[in-house]
Amino acid sequence: MPTNIDENIHKSVLRTEIVELLKPQGAEIFVDATLGLGGHAEAILSVAEKTRLVGIDQDSEAIAIAARRLEKFGDRQRIFHANFSDIKSVLATAGIEKVDGVLADLGVSSLQFDSAERGFSFRFDAPLDMRMNAADDDTPTAAALLATLSEFEIAKIIYEYGEERLSRRIARRIVWKREQGEPIETTRQLAETVEKAVGRGKKDKIHPATKTFQALRIAVNGELEILERFLRDSVEILKKDGRLAVITFHSLEDRIVKQTFQNLAGKCVCPPRFPTCICGASKEVEILTRKPLTAGEIELAENPRARSAKLRACLKLR
Ligand SMILES: C[S@@+](CC[C@H](N)C(=O)[O-])C[C@H]1O[C@@H](n2cnc3c(N)ncnc32)[C@H](O)[C@@H]1O
Ligand SMILES: [Zn+2]
């Protein structure tokens, strides 16, 4: 366990805004569904003396650090190693029925992104892993996906999750390498293969493999598939006037949060040709953020990772 790692390796984004939206005041219970290094959790627990918090993360390295950081709050906090798609069963295990607030700060932490051996980044050469739950042997690594999926499936992942126009060219080269007996096994091999497939302009500020890396990470961890269900489950476990706050880091996630909140706020999402509504839209929540909140200049200067962060929140009505 990396007990010598500084918890400050990851700067929590929009921390003030999260506390203002969740409003810890007294004996409330909150769930931090993406505990990470415990920065938001610590902020929430520090505001009001009797507030309790359930923390969830699928990464045991993160949990070890968060546990140490939150130790000072004693039994006001409990931490679970789980996927947030299991939020309802985690709460059942904790013996809690309803909560006052749920927070999710999606994506990877700096601990994950900056750990060379986890394989999330092309800045270091490492096995192409990208599993957030590295202890879970049932989840195929990014290298395993590239070794087994068809060219079409690889292109689809890169196109849909990376919004990469040149996805087919990239997939073709990955599969061609595989057929030459040179499967992509490391971050550097993938970065070089993408660069060869699409070229790199002299003026390009971001590496041409950035979108492909994002796409693979989303695919490996099933990030988008579980998001809508998680949002609906979270609203279900809220008390009346309870709040759900979600921070996203790319447009695909933000779109899911925005549309799910709108549907939960009563907006019908049936296709226009349907004569009657079958999506069951009913007004469960009020949206608290008409436009998503974003980081101000001071935070951006301190934490460039906050640049793409968008925070949306809603309030349960019944
Ligand atoms: C951006 S970090 C959270 C940082 C945290 N809010 C803080 O202030 O330190 C995201 C965390 O969510 C975790 N995570 C992402 N998806 C998850 C999921 N489906 N279930 C559980 N944890 C998840 C990651 O392992 C990572 O530790
Ligand atoms: Zn409808």
**pLDDT tens-digit profile, the chain (318 residues):** 444 567 778 899 999 999 999 999 989 999 999 999 999 999 999 999 999 999 999 999 999 999 999 999 999 999 999 999 999 999 999 999 999 999 999 989 989 999 989 999 999 999 999 999 998 889 999 999 999 999 999 999 999 999 999 999 999 999 999 999 999 999 999 999 999 999 987 777 889 999 999 999 999 999 999 999 999 999 999 999 999 999 999 999 999 999 999 999 999 989 989 999 988 889 999 999 999 999 999 999 999 899 999 999 999 999
In total, the chain counts a number of residues equal to 318
What is the number of the ligand 1 atom nearest to the C-alpha of 36? 27
What is the number of the ligand 1 atom nearest to the C-alpha of 103? 6
Domains along the sequence of the chain with CATH: 7-107+224-316 (3.40.50.150), 137-220 (1.10.150.170)
Identify whether the C-beta of residue 37 lies closer than 8 Å to the C-beta of residue 111: yes
List Cβ neighbours of 106 (8 Å cut-off, separation of 6 or more). 34, 223, 227, 246, 247, 248, 249, 253
**Protein residue with its CA nearest to atom 14 in ligand 1:** 34
What is the number of the ligand 1 atom nearest to the C-alpha of 15? 8
Distances (CA, A) of 273 to 27, 266, 267, 297: 48, 19, 16, 45
Residue 4 pLDDT:
59
Residue 136 pLDDT:
85
Residue of 289, 278, 235 whose CA lies nearest to 269: 278
Q: CA 246, CA 283: separation in Å to the nearest integer?
A: 19
Ligand 1 pocket mutation pick from 5, 6, 31, 58 by most atoms within 8 angstroms of CB: 58
Compute, in angstroms, the gap from residue 277 CA to the centroid of ligand 1: 36
Q: Find the residues whose C-beta lies inside 6 A of ligand 1.
A: 10, 12, 34, 36-40, 56-59, 62, 83-85, 105, 107-109, 132, 226
Compute, in angstroms, the gap from residue 264 CA to the centroid of ligand 2: 11
Compute, in angstroms, the gap from residue 208 CA to the centroid of ligand 1: 26
Distances (CA, A) of 241 to 77, 142, 289, 314: 22, 41, 15, 9
Compute, in angstroms, the gap from residue 280 CA to the centroid of ligand 2: 6
Return the ∠ at Cα 10 (arms to 29 and 56), rounded to 5°: 35
DSSP letters, 19-58, are HHHH---SS-EEEETT-TTSHHHHHHHHHSTT-EEEEEES
Ligand 1 pocket mutation pick from 7, 8, 22, 57 by most atoms within 8 angstroms of CB: 57
Residue 5 pLDDT:
65
